[in-house]
Amino acid sequence: MAKSTASFVCQNCGASYTKWAGRCDACGEWNTIAEEAARETAPKGLGGKPGRKIAFVDLKTEGVPPPRRTTGIGELDRVCGGGLVAGSAILVGGDPGIGKSTLMLQASGVLAGKASVAYITGEEAIDQVRLRADRLGLSKANVQLAAATNVRDIIASLETGTPPDVVVIDSIQTMFVDSIESAPGTVTQVRTCAHELIRVAKRRGFTLFLVGHVTKEGTLAGPRVLEHMVDTVLYFEGDRGHQFRILRAVKNRFGPTDEIGVFEMTDVGLAEVLNPSALFLAERRGNVSGSCVFAGLEGTRPVLVEIQALVAPSALGTPRRAVVGWDMARLNMVIAVLEARCGVAFTGHDLYLNVAGGLRIQEPAADLAVAAALVSALSGDPVPADAVVFGEIGLSGEVRAVAQRDLRLKEAAKLGFKQAWAPRSAKKADASGHNKPDDTKTGLTIKSMGHVQDVVSHFTDPAAPKATPPQGGKAGPSKMRGP
């Protein structure tokens, strides 16, 4: 007889263990391992029973590929790679309360005008969804609404009659398969439910949206355990303190990843943000030290954001370093390069770095902007208010070229910036590295940065006295030291 053993499964990544541990070795999360009834025992093999022959077909498509269905929400279509593909499964992950249900309901409402949409909620009662739809101005939309959690019933309904074009499951963690003992939300349940639903979606050709909560506690399986099963993974990010929400594609079998959609949470639901740069820079105050505008790139779209740094004398033995919206390891690297290659000393200073507006930057191209913000904060000199900065910094202090330079410059010019601190563009630079003919067409003055020192020397040396020059010393503040 097969032995039923208990197994311990990480609810974040799905790794399984024979005994409990405080930390999952696979994903590094703490306190996410929970006991689950083991679903299968030792593999049995095929047992000598013959199978059926599978049919092979040609790779080339017959006729044109089926068109993508656009949702009507441009930002959502963009992250999906230009619209929804029939028979595909899209996972929408995010923290609770970030706006996943709102987005799905809005998408359903807009789609309902041109396709049949079924919205199955396991979290809210029908009336709650209706109330929300009313608030979003969608109460007249032709969406088929159901409150259900049993996957057997849901599949039975989707198998009979004409299937809907789009099905939304909100959320996958509330669904359950009645043949499995573990509670809804466990890795086994979440995986099995998703697997069954995806199979029906592929067979019947509807687009399936699965909503999944990202959870830090070990009580609910996170969307990470589903990433390999679905065709597209979208994460809805943002700080609940900010009104901006970013929908980011992290996996897409039918389009590019790293594409983002920007939304603003308003009292009547999510509004698309067509010009994110203008929004992220809206509250910027020019000529403040420690502030610097980074010309970034999110997917195919240039996005300008403000990077803010604060450097303050520290009373602590080990100065504090805090970062919001960027990578701490990357920040430490930039600090180390500034200290070792340019002689800028941050010792004895607390250091804070913030990406304004709640955006999370992942590009190394932000290195130079971070360096400029840090040195500006330390020296007290502002980065020119009409300048954008971008470039990757290498360990020897060299500034490396980054992708899509022209796109970044064009966006900066569009928003009224006058100069750019940018890496030398390798193939277009003349001998001096300045005045590349292609840069003039954007109207920006390009200050080519070959080394971080080029940035540092724009600021006065904080070590030199500024307000009260020493007796008899007429010289102005010295420039920052060289390497």
Give the binding-site size for Mg ion (rule: CB under 5 A). 1
Of ligand TYD, Mg ion, none, which one sits near residue 322, judging by CB under 5 to 8 A according to partner kind? none
Nearest to 340 by CA among 400, 402, 393: 393
Strand locations in 154-313 (E): 166-170, 207-213, 232-237, 244-252, 260-266, 269-272, 291-298, 301-313
Q: Which of the listed partners (Mg ion, ligand TYD, none) does 305 bind, with a CB threshold of 5 to 8 Å by partner kind?
A: none
Burial (Cβ within 10 Å: 0-12, 13-18, ≥19) of residue 28:
exposed
Residue 13: CB minimum distance to ligand TYD, A: 21
Give yes or no for residue 121 binding Mg ion (CB under 5 A).
Answer: no
User: Minimum distance from CB of 328 to Mg ion (Å)?
Assistant: 31
* Residue 94 touches which of ligand TYD, Mg ion, none (Cβ within 5-8 Å per kind): ligand TYD
- Of 240 and 434, nearer to ligand TYD (C-beta) is 240
Cβ count near 114 (within 10 Å): 12
The smaller minimum CB distance to ligand TYD, of residues 99 and 122, is found at 99
Rg (CA), the chain: 27
218 binds, among ligand TYD, Mg ion, none (CB under 5 to 8 A by kind): none
DSSP for 445-463, please give it.
EEEEESBHHHHHTTSB-TT
What is the amino acid identity at position 460? T
List all residues 6 or more positions away from 326 whose beta carbon is below 8 Å from its beta carbon: 307, 353, 355, 360, 361, 366, 370
CB of 146 to ligand TYD, least distance (A): 17
User: Given the complex with Mg ion, which of 103 and 305 has the nearer CB atom?
Assistant: 103
**Residue with Cβ nearer ligand TYD (247 or 361):** 247
Q: Are 383 and 292 in contact (CB under 8 A)?
A: yes
d(CA 349, CA 345): 9
The vertex-356 CA angle with 377 and 376, nearest 5°, equals 15
Instruction: Give the separation between CA 464 and CA 230, rounded to whole angstroms.
Output: 58
Least distance to ligand TYD, CB of residue 101, Å: 3
DSSP code per residue over 12-23: TT--EESS--SB
Question: Residue 109 binds which one of ligand TYD, Mg ion, none, with CB within 5 to 8 A depending on kind?
Answer: none
From the list ligand TYD, Mg ion, none, pick the one residue 302 interacts with, judged by a Cβ distance below 5 to 8 Å according to partner type: none
Cβ nearer to ligand TYD, comparing 263 with 417: 263
CB 374 within 8 A of CB 311: yes
Residues sharing a CB contact under 8 Å with residue 177, sequence separation 6 or more, in sequence order: 151, 152, 189, 192, 193, 196
Say whether the peptide bond before residue 171 is cis (omega within 30 degrees of 0). Answer: yes
Q: Does 101 bind Mg ion (CB under 5 A)?
A: yes
User: Least CB distance from residue 249 to Mg ion, whole Å?
Assistant: 20
Which amino acid, one-letter code, is at 141?
Answer: A
Nearer to ligand TYD, 238 or 384 (CB): 238
Closest CB to Mg ion among 101 and 188? 101
Q: Which does 479 bind (CB under 5 to 8 A by kind): ligand TYD, Mg ion, none?
A: none
Compute the distance between CA of residue 11 and CA of residue 350 in angstroms, rounded to an integer.
Answer: 36
Three-state secondary structure call for residue 413 = helix
Q: How far is the CB of 98 from ligand TYD (least distance, A)?
A: 4
Q: Which stretch binds Mg ion (CB under 5 A): 97-105, 152-160, 238-246, 452-460?
A: 97-105
Binding-site partner at residue 97 among Mg ion, ligand TYD, none, CB < 5 to 8 Å by type: ligand TYD
Q: How far is the CB of 114 from ligand TYD (least distance, A)?
A: 23
The least distance separating ligand TYD from the CB of residue 227, rounded to whole angstroms, comes to: 18
Angle of the 126-135 helix axis to the 100-111 helix axis, nearest 10: 70
| Residue with Cβ nearer ligand TYD (220 or 295) | 220
Cβ distance to ligand TYD smaller for residue 110 or 307: 110
Residue nearer to ligand TYD on the CB measure, 166 or 422: 166
For residues 10 and 34, give the distance between their C-alpha atoms in angstroms, rounded to a whole number. Answer: 6
First-last CA distance in the chain: 73
Give the C-alpha separation, 239 to 244, whole Å: 7
102/376 with CB nearer ligand TYD:
102
Work out how close the CB of 213 gets to Mg ion at its nearest, in angstroms, rounded to a whole number.
8
Rounded least distance, CB 283 to ligand TYD, Å: 20
Task: Enumerate binding residues for ligand TYD (CB under 6 A).
Answer: 94, 96-102, 132, 135-136, 265, 267-269
Residue 37 interacts with, from ligand TYD, Mg ion, none (CB under 5-8 Å by kind): none
DSSP-based three-state secondary structure for 356: helix
Q: Which does 269 bind (CB under 5 to 8 A by kind): ligand TYD, Mg ion, none?
A: ligand TYD
CB of 99 to Mg ion, least distance (A): 8
Q: Which does 135 bind (CB under 5 to 8 A by kind): Mg ion, ligand TYD, none?
A: ligand TYD
Nearest residue to Mg ion, using CB?
A: 101
Residues that bind Mg ion in the complex, under the rule CB under 5 A: 101
